[in-house]
Amino acid sequence: MSAVSNLVVDDLLGAAFARVQAEVDAAFDAFLAVPQDSRARLVEAMRHAAIGGGKRVRPLLLTATADLFGVSRTSAINAACAIEAIHCYSLIHDDLPCMDDDDLRHGKPTVHRAFDEATAVLAGDSLHALAFDILTQPDTSTDPFVRAELVECLARASGYDGMAGGQMMDMMAEEADYDLHQVTRLQQLKTGALLAASVEMGAILGRLPVEGRGPLRAYARDIGLAFQIADDLLDVEGDAGLAGKALRKDEGKGKATFVTLMGADKARAQARMLVDQAASHLAGFGEEARLLQSLARFIVERDR
Amino acid sequence: MSAVSNLVVDDLLGAAFARVQAEVDAAFDAFLAVPQDSRARLVEAMRHAAIGGGKRVRPLLLTATADLFGVSRTSAINAACAIEAIHCYSLIHDDLPCMDDDDLRHGKPTVHRAFDEATAVLAGDSLHALAFDILTQPDTSTDPFVRAELVECLARASGYDGMAGGQMMDMMAEEADYDLHQVTRLQQLKTGALLAASVEMGAILGRLPVEGRGPLRAYARDIGLAFQIADDLLDVEGDAGLAGKALRKDEGKGKATFVTLMGADKARAQARMLVDQAASHLAGFGEEARLLQSLARFIVERDR
């Protein structure tokens, strides 16, 4: 539970976070055996980024969704590691000197600080490839159709039509002077695409037909936006020590965020409204959806 | 035929190169429609790297292998674009200031020179994701088992157990003082893995069972090594104007290559021996394999 605030975590959510954190760490440990040659440094850098840090929000979203459909734990954890590998690679590259130039991530030195820039670029690239390698292993699903659909979902969510495209929009934000519509689009790509893919991949593993995914997609869309509003609020109001990374980065850059465009109070109210709405989309799942609903609340109430 | 030497190209090979170059360019043009928002810069950078440059050796290897089994052209070109997207992303990242710091690639400014470093990192990442996106499209194969097998093959060949791992070994080369065995291993990963995947993906599309892939794998292993020996020879003896990139980069760094370890004459003889051996592995395919055999010869006799 080290990386998760105790304040807003009920017992169910707390236990679920602790479990998925341990399982994802153990799985990465197994995927990333250090080779006995000069690639050791590369795999050590991948381990530095992938093991023992992060809240594991995406893995928990994925496994909690998969649980709705009785998916095996091995399948769900493999897919969770794939999406977390994408998330970790994106953090390594975002932290590079030519991007955000950050020194700290999850309370540890960033990969380019702990190793070097070239190793950081390669470690990110290697985690990127590992994600798709994991998804095609028979352990992830015995059904090749499911494996191919998982890859399609994750590749789309990661590329220029997803996370990387959102990151590009973010880099252009200072000069582009976005309005609320454009900031929303930016965040849907930058953060929302991968959060939505986490839920979608749980549904794919659960063999839920596309026609039945509406409520889960609506839930994912709402928490994606709420997540980013909460991030913008934390950037302004949060505690860098708790966050384990630099804050107040948007300040003074004249960069439009939900907080600069709406004001902190209205942004907070909007995030809470989105979370209530997200929870209501899952009403049809009854008690089974309680974990996903708690996770939605955690996403806006977290302190890091 | 702009990027291919006329000296060593017979009519069959010349026509095949010209065809695949045009088809890969057209396919990338279709995959990379420029969006009407601030992601335009990202997609322009991807297009800069992916369209109108490069010999397209990997696409030709893939399509020529697929032709042995009567694979549809659309399937083969899609898979060829996927492997070329991986190759292009690796060049963008290898050219970065923190890696090789190169200004020229295929006679054009490198992506970080034509755009900027952050855009180059993201363009590489986005081409990486695009590769797997393409492989899961039904156009690539209507059979999800084939799509999943293609992804598995390409992901494995790209990551720390393939290309990226080889790049890491290469970065450690100056201090590691490799012997011939280690240089061979390095090159099998750095260059060989993706060349071998090109052939393997052609066989996967052709639904050749794993038990039948021995001769093609032996061919791919031999040309992979021959390709790198030829690259080392070109680095020492080549014409930078023809190559469209900086040469003599290994000189003076004390970095072990096939040429420094064996001497140029012995290296050249070894490359030719490997090409003869590669061609002989394909004897069982008869006349059908002539293009792959010509391509093997081109790989060691090329002047860029």
B72 touches chain A (CB under 8 A): no
pLDDT of residue A47: 98
Alpha carbon distance B227, B243 (integer Å): 15
Q: Is the pLDDT of residue A15 over 50?
A: yes
Using 50, 70 and 90 to split pLDDT, how confident is the model at B174? confident
Residues A208-235, mean pLDDT to the nearest whole number: 94
A112 to chain B, minimum CA–CA distance in Å?
Answer: 10
* Residue A203: pLDDT over 70: yes
Asked if B145 and A149 come within 8 Å (Cβ–Cβ), the reply is no
- For B175-218, write each residue's pLDDT tens digit: 888 999 999 999 999 999 999 999 999 999 999 999 999 999 99
What are B45-59's pLDDT values in tens digits? 999 999 998 899 999
**B136–A125: do the CB atoms touch at under 8 Å?**
no
According to the model, what pLDDT value does residue A45 have? 98
Residue B36 belongs to what H/E stretch? none
In chain B, domain spans:
11-301
**B177-B180-B185-B189 Cα dihedral, nearest 10 degrees:** 80
Contact pairs from chain A to chain B, CB under 8 Å: 175
- Measured CA to CA, the distance from residue A235 to residue A224 in angstroms comes to 17
User: Is B240 part of the contact surface with chain A (CB cutoff 8 Å)?
Assistant: no
Q: Does A34 touch chain B (CB under 8 A)?
A: no
Across the range B231-256, mean pLDDT stands at: 73
Assigned CATH for A11-301: 1.10.600.10
> Is the CB of residue B170 less than 8 Å from the CB of residue B186?
yes
pLDDT at B2: 40
B5: confidence class by pLDDT, cuts 50, 70, 90: very low
B42, B164, B171 ranked by CB distance to A125: nearest? B164
Angle between helices B214-237 and B290-301 (to 10 degrees): 20
Kindly tell me if the per-residue pLDDT of A73 is higher than 70.
yes
Between β-strands B104-105 and A104-105, what pairing exists: parallel, antiparallel or unpaired?
Answer: unpaired
Q: What is the reported pLDDT for B7?
A: 46
Inter-chain residue contact A156 with B133, CB threshold 8 Å: yes
Chain A positions in Cβ-Cβ contact with residue B172 (cut-off 8 Å): 38, 41
Residue type, A78: N
Does B39 sit within 8 Å of A165, measured CB to CB?
A: yes
Question: A292: Cβ–Cβ under 8 A, 6 or more apart, which residues?
Answer: A61, A64, A65, A68, A219, A282
- In the stretch 117-176 of chain A, residues with CB closer than 8 A to chain B read 117-119, 121-122, 124-126, 128-133, 135-137, 144-145, 147-149, 151-152, 154-156, 158-160, 162, 164-165, 167-169, 171-172, 176
pLDDT of B300 strictly over 90:
no
Mean per-residue pLDDT for B273-285?
96
How much is the mean pLDDT over chain B? 92
Distances, alpha carbon A85 to alpha carbons A98, A108, A136, A281, in Å:
21, 18, 14, 28
Residue B150, by phi and psi: left (phi above 0), alpha (psi -120 to 50) or beta? alpha
Per residue in B66-123, pLDDT (tens digit) is: 999 999 999 999 999 999 999 999 999 999 999 999 999 988 999 999 999 999 999 9
Q: For residues B82 and B150, is the Cβ–Cβ distance under 8 A?
A: yes
CB atoms closer than 10 angstroms to residue A102: 18
d(CA B227, CA B172): 21
